[in-house]
Structure 1
Amino acid sequence: MEILFSLFLIVSVWIQDKPKSIEDFQWKNRLVLYFQTGVNSNLSLTDSLEHEIQERKIVYMIFNDSLFSNNDIDFSEDYIKSLHKKYAMGAKGSCWVLIGLDGGVKMRREEPIDWKLIFGTIDAMPMRQSEIRNK
């Protein structure tokens, strides 16, 4: 019986609910929402870029015909439409939004994604400065 209970606990911890909204990331991750228009191609990310993204606790989501992310998420179609409406409304082309740990929009640009600008913006934030000092 103890083995069964232990197995249940392990499986319960292992099988976490997938995030169903961006609010599920608040205080855990920074978000980059990229609403891509035109050609459906996922970003090609080098190992170095992936390391920089991971170091800054960034979860990116690329919205086009489908949703691509570096995190396992479970957003409904209606929720994805609401994100488009809230963050990409009025954009004439591709746009991206940086959302901080607190859930607030820190930057929005109507251009292809600019990781250098994103990293610089994050690195200037007080919480990121604290993370750097504590490492």
Structure 2
Amino acid sequence: MRYWSIVLILFSALAHSYPADSEKWQHRSIMFFAPSHDQYVQQFLLETLMEECSLQERDIVTLVIKEDGSTVPVWAQDAFDLSVLNAFYDIPKGQHTGILVGKDGREKLRWGEKTDWTLLKKVIDQMPLRQQEMQRNPSRCAI
């Protein structure tokens, strides 16, 4: 029941694009909750640009959700009920909380102010679905 609740909460505005009987999402999500647009948010956004190829390769969508209700990208504040997301993930006020959600809709990793992108990629790359993806499509991000 909890699985379906999160699916409805996170993607109610986009529900028509997902098959009703689907057990997998089209993407993984990284949500970064923050008290305000501070240096940690700036660093997170900068790092998402630096990690763009890796994020795209792993089908990751990133969201920044601030306590005042503003979001990056801006469209997310209209697409989601942010108070429900905060309650569902038990986000403490005044703190930074990053959450990785897998394609199965379940929380995979949680962290604080600073994002360890190496750890994030390692956790994702160990997921069974990601293992299948890597077998089908070799990395295009290696330099």
**TM-score, normalised relative to structure 2:** 0.66
How many pairs are equivalent? 113
Cα deviation for residue 113 of structure 1 reads 2.4
SS at structure 2 position matched to 1:44:
helix
**1:29 and 2:31 are equivalent in the alignment:** no
5+ long unaligned stretches in structure 2: 1-7, 19-23, 138-143
Percent identity, please: 29
Asked if residue 67 in structure 1 is aligned to residue 71 in structure 2, the reply is yes
Q: Structure 1 residue aligned with 2:54, among 47, 52, 55? A: 52
CA RMSD in angstroms comes to 2.6
- 1:114-133 aligned within 5 A: 114-133=116-135
User: 1:34, CA displacement in angstroms?
Assistant: 0.5
Determine helix, strand or coil for the equivalent of 1:102: coil
Which of 92, 96, 99 is residue 97 of structure 1 equivalent to?
A: 99
C-alpha distance 130-91 of structure 1, shift in aligned 2 (>3 A): farther
8 Å Cα contact 2:33/2:91 also seen in 1: no
2:91–2:97 contact (8 Å) kept in structure 1: no
Deviates more, 1:28-37 or 1:110-119: 110-119
1:113 and 2:115 are equivalent in the alignment: yes
Secondary structure of 1:119's counterpart equals: helix
- Please tell me the residue identity of whatever aligns with 2:29: L
| Alpha-carbon distance in structure 2 between the residues aligned to 1:58 and 1:82 | 21
Quote the Cα distance in structure 2 between the aligned partners of 1:29 and 1:46: 16
Q: CA deviation at 1:107?
A: 1.2
TM superposition shift of 1:38: 4.3
| Structure number with larger C-alpha Rg | 1
TM-score, L = length of structure 1: 0.69
The CA distance in 1 between the partners of 2:126 and 2:111, in whole Å, is 18
Structure 1 stretches lacking a partner, 5+ long: 1-19
What is the alpha-carbon distance in structure 1 between the residues aligned to residue 109 and residue 49 of structure 2? 25
